[in-house]
Chains A and B, each alone.
Chain A
């Protein structure tokens, strides 16, 4: 019989993060389709009691924890040791975890120490012939595979956003402590904290509801025969500030900036979306001045609702890649959108009313 271990790390407050609650939901869903299996939760953190109490109604038959100051920070050596100890203690056959930066860093080592195997970036699951299968992408979201594994324990890290976060009622609960020796060798690394990106990169917001993608058209000459790069910068930044959207860019626009051209100065390769860039996840995406040809559209694979503004009605977006294509001048449209957002914006905090 399978034992499913939910491997969870706490947030800064000792409670469950959204990612951890998604993992709980994953475990509950899979458990329903695996008759006879049991659910165990294992928590790692500096202080875990708030998380343990949140798990009271999770359905886990056992609650395990590795706790202590050494296990507060996200550090490979201590996290790998803690995870391996929890897997062994739970005698887990399946280990579910969220694909957070912390678990992604530490769990491969834990899998190795437990003679197990590991898959990351899982995006779905199914029962096939009575055994668990997962789906994940290969070759940068270019093809999707469904696969199964025979070795156990099998560690599976699910990408964020796959499961709705579990939101069960907290209650009194106690975890069984699993002791891990955090000897000095495991603490050669000291985590100092997190650092916000430089000011100009503030426009990348992975958690934003909307992704705005700027294409090379913003820097090309417009109807009056001239380029309006400064105006384009102002319009885009104004939109980003007002809408709190995340900013992506086509490859050609990022490359232009690498050549010292007078182009959108705030764009870097981090913004690049597409076959040679990233494939972000946002509920909505708005493409401006970029053609929706196939390599560009790869970056849109996980954008749920897609709209585009382009002067060319024959561009790739028109052929089944966007939900709506507005054939229009993006300069004029974005200016009008910004004007509407400005009217509707609530006064900034501290502004005299």
Chain B
């Protein structure tokens, strides 16, 4: 097993800090929670201000610890209906937020494969042929077909295009300016602190350690922050959320998250003569692989966010978001619109696409869970921010009620005050419709799309069944995936070459399978390294432990796929000694794709993959994503 001390077990004295409420992670859910709660703390709602229980005479003491080094680093560009945000902040206009715009148009575009390297099923190929034959009549242009109509459940009419980075910064400034809550970026929370069944606070990450987590120069043991309520908003791959899942298990109707996607995106500066209008929204599917969805949102001042989602059900053993992104932006439909554009920012994040089906216990004694990690993302409408914010705001309303009544933050009280609110809200109602909408994707792209349509039109009463969800679908072997394109001997030679050179396999295999080399231009088509440095501004402070750990390296030695290396968004995982991937913390963007792409499970623990993705410091340093 990995020789890595678990910080909880390290026998060091830890300083303690007292607060009333401690929050983990500052994403849209926590922002919604804090914005709503701060109104109650300050007594804006007409009721008396909320008073601290740990520091009598003071207002409610609320602390929020964010892993990234500033607020809004490492999140994403979105189009959102923003219903909950508008409810919390009446009168707010998207123009109040940098890079915000109201949605002005929406297009859904099917992209054909202009290079012939895409792995398309027979059905898709037949469909493509028909489209090409009927192209003129259907208005086909640039190897793409703009669908004449978008299903209502996918519409974001009246919604907003936002840069989540800028929106989080805006929300953070507003909160800090109120003086009612404290936000501390650059401070990862390593675990929840438990007293029996009760969460009593959090422990912050040790600082001044070596890469194995052992005390080193300037060692500062992570403090314990004790609080009556711990708000867990650490996102889809948050380590505290997973700790609580392990500790408390899951509700009987819930299953471990099994549908994921890595969303990789870039923010680009558009040229002066760009035809793209602010508020324009594009959704694409069909290319570079049929399973890959893409998006482009146009911000004011000639800026656009664009990117793709590479899902866990893309059954490729060389699943690489970056290379796919590069092919996607070269598709004639996009290339024409992006001519003269230049990379400004870049990043990646995981989306938990199981939604409500993987909903954990939302509350327990001393804790509540909000946001994407609590299963709030709606996979049918492709909406997560609105829902996340709503869950945070719902928790805040409930907590204010309990606090004012002098009631404890116990499981039953939180169930009544928060969970019931959530259950009776649109978040729950829409999540139920969406719950099984994507199952069909397990049987292919066509059935997946049909399943979404069925679920959307019937209010979730019908869907396309996706087969067993008890365990993840095994990834095809390289030999099987490339059958007919590369021989097993050729694959083996490439595998050995990549191992000796410490390189991922996808570049060479994709090119041998027909994908053209990337014509780097230093503007939009830049090396992966340049995307990291120039776009994501990725960096990691020294003095923290490695947060990607292989629990049993022996399992990696016999792993045939090493999908973690291929999927890594930052080239932070590379072939290492004896086949065990080597982790370079400097390059990690904390997207967490390696966590759900690991194909090996620990002996006797089928739910637990061999790759442990812990909380870590550093990552993206761009607030424009």
Contact = CB atoms under 8 A, between A and B. Distances in A.
A293 B527 contact: yes
A311 B582 CA distance: 19
A316 B586 contact: no
B296 to A, nearest CB: 24
A221 B576 contact: yes
B500 A315 contact: no
Contact of B534 (A216, A261, A295): A295
A314 interface: yes
A151 to B, nearest CB: 36
A273 to B, nearest CB: 14
A216 B540 CA distance: 15
B578 to A, nearest CB: 8
B210 A319 contact: no
Given A293-B533, A294-B533, A314 B527 contact: yes
Contacts of B534: 293-295
A192 interface: no
Nearest to A259: B542
Given A295-B533, A316-B529, A319-B520, A255 B542 contact: yes
Interface string A11-55: 000000000000000000000000000000000000000000000
Given A259-B210, A293-B534, A221 B577 contact: yes
Given A221-B582, A295-B534, A319-B520, A258 B529 contact: no
Nearest to A252: B586
Interface string A320-332: 1000000000000
Interface string B198-227: 000000000000110000110000000000
B502 interface: yes
Contacts of A316: 527, 529-530
B543 interface: yes
B522 interface: yes
A348 interface: no
A291 interface: yes
Chain B CB within 10 Å — which of A220, A223, A225 has the most? A225
A349 interface: no
Given A260-B210, A294-B534, A221 B529 contact: no
A135 B446 CA distance: 61
A251 B533 CA distance: 12
Given A221-B577, A316-B527, A316-B530, A259 B586 contact: no
Given A295-B534, A319-B520, A259 B529 contact: no
Interface in A227-273: 251-252, 255, 258-261
B577 A293 contact: no
B346 to A, nearest CB: 13
Interface string B547-582: 000000000000000000000000000001100001
Contacts of B533: 293-296
Nearest to B531: A293
A220 B575 CA distance: 12
Contacts of A261: 210-211
B620 to A, nearest CB: 14
B88 to A, nearest CB: 38
Nearest to A255: B542
Contact of A293 (B499, B530, B539, B542): B530
A316 B542 CA distance: 25
Contacts of A320: 522
Given A258-B542, A293-B527, A294-B534, A225 B211 contact: no
Contacts of A252: 586
A153 to B, nearest CB: 42
Contacts of A255: 540, 542, 586
Interface string B495-512: 000011110000000000
Interface string A272-312: 00000000000000000001011110000000000000010
Contacts of B530: 293-294, 316
Contacts of A260: 210, 216-217
Nearest to B522: A319
A225 B529 contact: no
Contact of B211 (A259, A295, A296): A259
Contacts of B217: 260
A291 B586 CA distance: 14
Contacts of A319: 520, 522
Nearest to A224: B500
B580 to A, nearest CB: 11
Contacts of A259: 210-211, 216, 542-543
A221 to B, nearest CB: 6
Contact of B502 (A220, A258, A295, A296): A220
Contacts of B540: 255
Contact of A291 (B501, B522, B529): B529
Nearest to A274: B533
Contacts of A220: 502
A310 to B, nearest CB: 11
Contacts of B499: 225
Nearest to B216: A260
B299 to A, nearest CB: 23
Contacts of B520: 314, 319
A259 B529 CA distance: 22
A330 to B, nearest CB: 14
Chain B CB within 10 Å — which of A296, A314, A320 has the most? A314
Given A255-B586, A294-B533, A225 B577 contact: yes
A225 B496 CA distance: 11
A293 to B, nearest CB: 5
B215 to A, nearest CB: 10
A226 B210 CA distance: 20
Contacts of B576: 221
Contacts of A295: 533-534
11 contacts: A221-B577, A225-B499, A255-B540, A255-B586, A259-B216, A259-B543, A291-B529, A294-B530, A295-B534, A316-B529, A319-B520
Closest 8 CB pairs of A and B: A258-B542, A259-B542, A295-B533, A293-B530, A293-B533, A294-B534, A293-B529, A260-B216
Given A252-B586, A293-B529, 18 more contacts: A220-B502, A221-B502, A221-B577, A223-B500, A225-B577, A251-B539, A259-B210, A259-B211, A259-B216, A261-B210, A293-B534, A294-B530, A294-B534, A314-B520, A314-B527, A315-B527, A319-B520, A319-B522
